[in-house]
Structures are given as C-alpha cells and as structure tokens.
Amino acid sequence: MGEATAVPTVRTLASPLESARIGRPVERLSVHGENGGSFSPVRAAIRESAADVIVLRYPAERVEWFAELLTTGRTVLLADSLVYWRLVAGRGRGAAGAPGLWTGELRDADAAGALAAEIFAGYRNHYAADPLFAACDARAGYADWARGPAAAGNCLALYGPGEGEPRAIGLATVADDGPATEILLAGVVPGERGRNRYAHLLAAVEERTRARGGTEVVISTQGHNTGVQRAWARYGFEPVRTLLTVHLVRKGLIPSA
C-alpha cells in the first residue's frame, strides 16, 4: 500500500474500506523519519483516537517504541514489516524483449480488481496477525486497492498470449508524488511467474516515470516476501528503509485464552 509520502503531522486517518471489512472503526497512522524520533506526538495521536483498531507504521530503527506502545492502554499486535526499495529512473536493467508481450494502460476498474485478486490469491499481509480481521478476504482487499488507481488512469497492465486472444497477465498500480512514482501493487498471475514477466512491468513503470519527468521509482513489500525483493535487486533497485507494522486494538476486543 502507498506509504512513500511523509505525513506532515502525527495524526490518525480514517480507513473506510478496512472499517467496512471488519465492521469496526479502523484508522491508520504512518510515521516516517521526517516526523522525528520523539514518541510523544505518537502517543498523543493514539490517545486521541476513538478507533477500535489503529494500524500503525513506524521506522524499524525506533526499536524502543514497541515498549512505549505497550503503555498506551491498547493491545499491541506485531503485524509484519514493510521494506522499501528505490530505483533512480533510467538506471534500471530493463527486460529482454519477448514476442507477444506488451504493456498498456488499464482503466477498467473491475478488470483491474479481478486481476489483482488472481495475482494476490493466498498472499498473507498484516491482516493475518489480527483476530478481528480473521474473516476478511485478503483478495477482496487487493481488488479494492487496484480499482481506485485503475479508474484514475494510474494502472498499467502486462498483456500476453491467451487462448484465442491476448489477455492481461500482470498489473502495476502507481501513484505520482513530485519526482517520485510509487508502485502500489505489482505482480503477474501464477501461471506466468518465473518467466521474467515481472521485469517487463518494472520497465513499463520506469518508462512512464521518465516520460513524465520523474526521477525515481519507489516500491515496498512485506519483509517476508524475499522472492520479489531479489527481483528488484536484479532490476537495479536498492533497499532504503523498513517500517514496522503494528495493530493497536482497543482493550477487551480480543478475547483472552
């Protein structure tokens, strides 16, 4: 999910889609290095929130913050890490040409959602750490996250040969923030993996970034997803930072054993 833009002040933001999924108010709070190293404003934001769940992301180097979180009066669930990588646009290693493959804009929100659901079927994210999200279909979440950018014209699809006619076999949704383009979601369908298809998607985003005058591409994934990080390294990306993800749940909502 997109976290590249620094939050100018430490405050929670409503998350309507996640609130609808679990039937409880959910808010998000993202803290980056630009916010400084003090936990005090984070504590204040947590205390001011009336949400049942706060999904907090903060710099992994603030190791001491986890102990502070335990004193906020909420149940604290460690819910994964988010690793960011960066590419200077124009320095990517590209992808070898492959007959029958091409990329193009995908504006059909429903098609993008269905494709994202296929790509991310079985993928585990921070929802799995929280019993309140146990009934959520993670695929539905990825479908929702793909629909918005597609409708806004911020989705690229990778097309390849199909049965009778070409079909979309991968997608990348993006968000532009000044000189940076962030890849929000990217992947190829299971049957096309291991064939260097993913590099074609990265190349398409890099080309799009340069065409608009951008200078860098940013991408992130859960820390456990080492396979895709190897693909980024081969393409030319470099790791730049890690955020920890925790869920801060209102006391009493998670039954004790």
Q: Which residues contact 218 (CB under 8 A, 6 or more apart)?
A: 4, 84, 85, 86, 87, 180, 181, 182, 183, 240
Percent of the chain with pLDDT over 90: 79
Looking at the structure, tell me whether residues 71 and 116 fall in a common domain.
Answer: no
Looking at the structure, tell me whether residues 75 and 162 fall in a common domain.
Answer: no
Looking at the structure, tell me whether residues 227 and 184 fall in a common domain.
Answer: yes
pLDDT above 50 for 7: no
- Tens-place pLDDT, residues 40-90: 999 999 999 999 999 999 999 999 999 999 999 999 999 999 999 999 999
Q: Are 166 and 152 in contact (CB under 8 A)?
A: no
Q: Is residue 76 part of a domain?
A: yes
**pTM of the full predicted structure?**
0.89
pLDDT at position 35 is: 56
Looking at the structure, tell me whether residues 31 and 112 fall in a common domain.
Answer: no
Q: How far apart are CA 172 and CA 185, in angstroms?
A: 5
Q: Is residue 6 part of a domain?
A: no
Looking at the structure, tell me whether residues 148 and 132 fall in a common domain.
Answer: yes
Looking at the structure, tell me whether residues 91 and 177 fall in a common domain.
Answer: yes
- Expressed as residue numbers, the domain containing 213 is 87-241
Q: Is residue 4 part of a domain?
A: no
For all residues of the chain together, what is the average pLDDT? 92
Q: Nearest to residue 151, comparing CAs of 120, 115, 180, 113?
A: 113
pLDDT at position 3 is: 44
Q: Is residue 69 part of a domain?
A: yes
- Tens-place pLDDT, residues 106-150: 999 999 999 999 999 988 899 999 999 988 888 888 999 999 999
Number of C-beta neighbours around residue 33 at 10 A? 13
Q: Is residue 47 part of a domain?
A: yes
Please tell me whether residue 182 adopts helix, strand or coil conformation: strand
Q: Indicate the pairing of strand 74-88 with strand 102-105.
A: unpaired
Question: Which CATH number goes with the domain that contains 21?
Answer: 3.30.110
Domain count, the chain: 2
